[in-house]
A and B are shown apart, each in its own frame.
Chain A
Amino acid sequence: MSAITLQNVTKKFPPSTVAADDISLSIDAGTFTVLLGLSGSGKSTLLRLINGLHTPTSGSVTVLGTEVGTARRSQLRQVRRDIGMVFQQFHLVGSMSTLENVCTGALGSLRGPRIGLFSYPKAVRQRALEQLDRVGLADQRFQRADTLSGGQQQRVAVARALVQQPKVLLADEPVASLDPESSHQVMSLIAQIAREDQLTVVCSLHQVELAMHWGDRIIGLRQGKKVMDEPAANVTSEDAMSIYGSMASARPAPPETAAV
């Protein structure tokens, strides 16, 4: 069954950036898809189109049966609850405890604003603790998030996404700010959790080796266009490198489009 479907999706940012150029693809539930491309190739934009942080200029994006681009606010929030997201820069509140950061992932299913750990229902706190334990950081639960290392912070961010009990997990360059050791940890954690929870994962990466190692399927992007779409098993590293185009003729990449 297809969890995510994009039909002829184009996204333009004025004045002249085309971040997604007529992209059509369909992603099956329970698969691990890697978006591969240079920075500025449109990976982030594609992910943000999927959870409705961007609306397409033309074309349609359907996630779990809801058309995201035209959904009303409440519908959009509804579908977003089923989509967890992990960011390159973790996006944790540094001054809050690790556990509270994880709890904030559950806000979509709670009513009203929350301040402080005690304002979350006990059930949510326990769910958060379980997820934190799953990423191996239960012992750090009361530590401030900014006292953790980069790899640990990213694991906390994964736990925050999992507290939503999502069906889809989007990861935007989850390991680009991490050292190889932590990168491996975080990637295998995501892969393992995806298998256990039967998540549909869409993960953007720029390292060919990582993409080939972790992905079921690799989608190559260059300047907003889909230039490759193959099962990872069929992809050789020469193929993957070709996504980047020949380095000699590479033009300077357009600046990464600012997020929202």
Chain B
Amino acid sequence: MTTLTRERADTRAVPAGGGARPQLTDRRTLRPPSARALLGLAIMGSFVAGGIWSLIELRVNIASLIVGYENAVNFFTNRVGALQLPPLGELAQMTVMTLAIVICATALGMVLSLILGLLAATNTCRHAPVRAVARVIVIVMRAVPELIMAIIFIRVFGFGAAAVAGILALGLNSIGMLGKFYTEAIEDHDDGPRQALETGGSVRLQQIFGATLPGIMPAVVAHGLHRFDINLRASVILGYVGLPGLGMELSSALGVGNYSLGIGLALVILGICIAAELLSGFLRMKLLGRSEPSRFGFFWLVGKMRRRYDANRLEAPSGARPAAWGERTTPPWNGERTSRFTYIGLFGLVILASVWLADIDWIAFFHGLLSIPAVAGQFIPPSDGGIAERLWTTLLETIQMGLAATFLGALLALPVGVLAARNVAPNRAVVQFFRTLIVVTRGVPELILAIILIVIMGMGAVAGVLALAVGAMGLLSKLVADSIEETDIRVQQAIATGGAARTQVFFASTVRQAAPAIVAHLFYQLDVNIRAATLLGIVGAGGVGYYLLNANRVLQFEVVTYICLMIVGVILLLEFITSVMRRLLR
């Protein structure tokens, strides 16, 4: 391919020397469609068709929304009454428990992921077999839903040590995401400093600590805090299978039909999720210092206001006074260093406190480790429990929910994302408005939304699809806006100098540049939604998750394994399609 283009370039160069230009024989101006393009179109086409078909099949339409609205009015006037909350002390205890478990799990996940990331990255690990094993571990952890891990671990460690089970389930599942991100961060990170240390004769571990880790630390912390938010949301659903904390309380309240308590708890969880997101955004900014804060978080808005205020004042002269340093070889304890160390210390303290507060039952933990072979026996061989047909129908329903939600979400996210992109939106006010909209949407955990919608609209897929679509809209529109902002503005300027109108520039260059990234995000979102759809079944939003929970309740663990294999199969298939799509887009 390269030689071909070079030859062509050479023949172009010759006529400049005076020779006659070779006759142009091929006068086609349209390229014959390539197999790649057709395959890509086919996948995209079936995605759109699948989305529409799923919406029809699941009866997500105006009529059901109207019925839902009537139900909602009826529900709030007749069934809920006054919102109810558990006594304050109890509520605080549950909250602390949930947070402690989530913090432990995230810390565990970060440590394991970092080790696996270092083992999986080409520039830090020279042994191909080790890299392959590390990568496979990450993929497996990604494919098995945390809920299924939790079911297995609770079976292993017993309900008495459910906290351990939850920490392991969430921690190991975090590896699926963090391990991948960390590997990418290590590989994308400039390898030069590490090479520089290698030339100085240091060993690999010294190179890693001396150059690689300091370079990727901001990314490690940022991804970890992001995962904390995800784990917090996931911990709620693990309450349905016995993880202590707010989620368990919520599930038992809804289980006995105590809707006023249920909705009350759901609102509390919503509040905690939003608070956690704000806090993690704040920490990310503090810990990373220079790194640009998320352009979509609450703190982005605050920072913007503050900068506007600060810009009106004279900037104070910064920079330390070197003269007084003399022979010092450790940095002075100035404000910046003090606060950095304070944050690191607080961070460590919080993790230690969480380990203590999570009430880990070490005896049950080691006992559980010994019982693994016996418990494993209960899960095999996989069995369909005589309801294979129902399982496959509901699995289809789960996939339909994912497709429908992604399709709906994308429909909403494309315009929102475009209008939230600074280089495209007509003016700043529009950008501000849509960014704020995205911030708010992303703050709402889809699970809580689904629970509330189910309570309101009744069990079934419609509530699940709507909840997932809102979640998809939040994430996708952020990704779309990011992709559009990352396009090369010089190309757009080049087209604009030719006299093209704004919309022409947008379609001719911006869309073309951003499209591959956006399509990749679309498939990523589908992946996320199908995973989420299996979980939503647990709260009664349709799909195969409902049977998973039932099988667990009646101790039919062979059926749990069967459903688990079904889900993992779908996820791996989807991953395959996504990777094909990515390759086509490259």
A89, A95, A108: the one contacting B201 at CB < 8 Å is: A108
Contact indicator B197/A113 (Cβ below 8 Å): no
Contact indicator A99/B199 (Cβ below 8 Å): no
Give Cα distance in the complex from A113 to B212, angstroms: 12
- What residues on A are CB-neighbors of B81 within 8 Å? none
Among B187-195, B304-312, B387-395, the stretch that binds chain A is B187-195
Assess whether A97 is interfacial by the CB under 8 Å rule. yes
Contact indicator B196/A110 (Cβ below 8 Å): no
Q: A108-B200, A115-B209, A129-B327 are in contact. Are A91 and B332 (CB under 8 A)?
A: no
Contact indicator B329/A99 (Cβ below 8 Å): yes
A94 nearest CB across to chain B (Å): 7
Contact indicator B206/A114 (Cβ below 8 Å): yes
Assess whether A141 is interfacial by the CB under 8 Å rule. yes
Contact indicator B206/A118 (Cβ below 8 Å): no
Assess whether A139 is interfacial by the CB under 8 Å rule. yes
Interface 1/0s, chain B 164-205, versus A by CB < 8 A? 000000000000000000000000001111011111111101
Contact indicator B214/A259 (Cβ below 8 Å): no
Among A31-39, A120-128, A198-206, A218-226, the stretch that binds chain B is A120-128
Assess whether A14 is interfacial by the CB under 8 Å rule. no
Contact indicator A126/B327 (Cβ below 8 Å): yes
Contact indicator A157/B196 (Cβ below 8 Å): yes
Assess whether B217 is interfacial by the CB under 8 Å rule. yes
Contact indicator B201/A78 (Cβ below 8 Å): yes
Assess whether A160 is interfacial by the CB under 8 Å rule. yes
Give Cα distance in the complex from A114 to B208, angstroms: 9
> Which residues of A76-130 have CB atoms within 8 Å of chain B's CB atoms?
76-81, 83-85, 87, 89-97, 99, 104-110, 112-115, 117-118, 122, 125-126, 128-129
B164 nearest CB across to chain A (Å): 30
A79 nearest CB across to chain B (Å): 8
Nearest residue, chain B, Cβ from A51: B199
Give Cα distance in the complex from A157 to B196, angstroms: 9
Give Cα distance in the complex from A54 to B327, angstroms: 39
Assess whether A53 is interfacial by the CB under 8 Å rule. yes
Assess whether A1 is interfacial by the CB under 8 Å rule. no
Contact indicator B196/A160 (Cβ below 8 Å): yes
Give Cα distance in the complex from A114 to B213, angstroms: 11
Assess whether B210 is interfacial by the CB under 8 Å rule. yes
Assess whether A142 is interfacial by the CB under 8 Å rule. yes
B336 nearest CB across to chain A (Å): 10
Q: A108-B202, A122-B329 are in contact. Are A87 and B196 (CB under 8 A)?
A: yes
Nearest residue, chain B, Cβ from A144: B290
Assess whether B215 is interfacial by the CB under 8 Å rule. yes
Assess whether B330 is interfacial by the CB under 8 Å rule. yes
Contact indicator A125/B201 (Cβ below 8 Å): no
Q: A53-B195, A259-B195 are in contact. Are A93 and B329 (CB under 8 A)?
A: no
Q: A77-B203, A112-B206, A142-B332 are in contact. Are A53 and B198 (CB under 8 A)?
A: yes
Assess whether B322 is interfacial by the CB under 8 Å rule. yes
Give Cα distance in the complex from A223 to B320, angstroms: 50
A53, A128, A141: the one contacting B199 at CB < 8 Å is: A53
Contact indicator B199/A85 (Cβ below 8 Å): yes
Contact indicator A139/B201 (Cβ below 8 Å): no
Give Cα distance in the complex from A142 to B200, angstroms: 22
Contact indicator B206/A110 (Cβ below 8 Å): yes
Most A CB atoms within 10 A — which of B213, B217, B331?
B331
- What residues on A are CB-neighbors of B203 within 8 Å? 77
Give Cα distance in the complex from A211 to B208, angstroms: 35
Contact indicator A164/B200 (Cβ below 8 Å): yes
Give Cα distance in the complex from A142 to B331, angstroms: 6
Contact indicator B205/A128 (Cβ below 8 Å): no
- What residues on A are CB-neighbors of B192 within 8 Å? 87, 89-91
Give Cα distance in the complex from A125 to B209, angstroms: 17
Assess whether B6 is interfacial by the CB under 8 Å rule. yes
A84, A107, A117, A252: the one contacting B6 at CB < 8 Å is: A252
Give Cα distance in the complex from A106 to B191, angstroms: 19
Give Cα distance in the complex from A99 to B200, angstroms: 16
Contact indicator A126/B217 (Cβ below 8 Å): no
A80 nearest CB across to chain B (Å): 4
- What residues on A are CB-neighbors of B9 within 8 Å? 252
- What residues on A are CB-neighbors of B207 within 8 Å? 107
- What residues on B are CB-neighbors of A81 within 8 Å? 200-201
- What residues on B are CB-neighbors of A53 within 8 Å? 195, 198-199
Assess whether B433 is interfacial by the CB under 8 Å rule. no
Assess whether B211 is interfacial by the CB under 8 Å rule. yes
Assess whether B218 is interfacial by the CB under 8 Å rule. yes
Most A CB atoms within 10 A — which of B192, B205, B320, B325?
B192
Contact indicator B209/A93 (Cβ below 8 Å): no
- What residues on B are CB-neighbors of A139 within 8 Å? 322, 325
Contact indicator A77/B201 (Cβ below 8 Å): yes
Contact indicator A95/B330 (Cβ below 8 Å): no
Assess whether A247 is interfacial by the CB under 8 Å rule. no
Contact indicator A97/B211 (Cβ below 8 Å): no
A79, A114, A252: the one contacting B210 at CB < 8 Å is: A114
B214, B217, B325: the one contacting A141 at CB < 8 Å is: B325
Give Cα distance in the complex from A97 to B329, angstroms: 11
Contact indicator A113/B208 (Cβ below 8 Å): yes
Contact indicator B195/A112 (Cβ below 8 Å): no
- What residues on B are CB-neighbors of A252 within 8 Å? 6, 9
Nearest residue, chain B, Cβ from A126: B329
B6, B206, B325: the one contacting A113 at CB < 8 Å is: B206
Contact indicator B193/A125 (Cβ below 8 Å): no
- What residues on B are CB-neighbors of A113 within 8 Å? 205-206, 208-210
Nearest residue, chain A, Cβ from B320: A142
- What residues on B are CB-neighbors of A110 within 8 Å? 202, 206
Nearest residue, chain A, Cβ from B212: A93
Contact indicator A107/B197 (Cβ below 8 Å): yes
Q: A53-B195, A85-B199 are in contact. Are A104 and B211 (CB under 8 A)?
A: yes
Contact indicator B210/A107 (Cβ below 8 Å): yes
Additional A-B contacts beyond A77-B201, A252-B9 (6; CB < 8 A): A51-B199, A83-B201, A114-B209, A122-B329, A139-B325, A142-B325
10 residue pairs, one from A and one from B, having the closest CB atoms? A108-B201, A113-B209, A91-B192, A80-B201, A125-B329, A139-B322, A107-B202, A81-B201, A91-B196, A85-B199
CB-defined A-B contacts under 8 Å, sample of 14: A85-B199, A87-B192, A95-B218, A97-B331, A104-B210, A106-B200, A107-B206, A113-B205, A114-B210, A128-B329, A142-B320, A157-B196, A164-B200, A260-B195
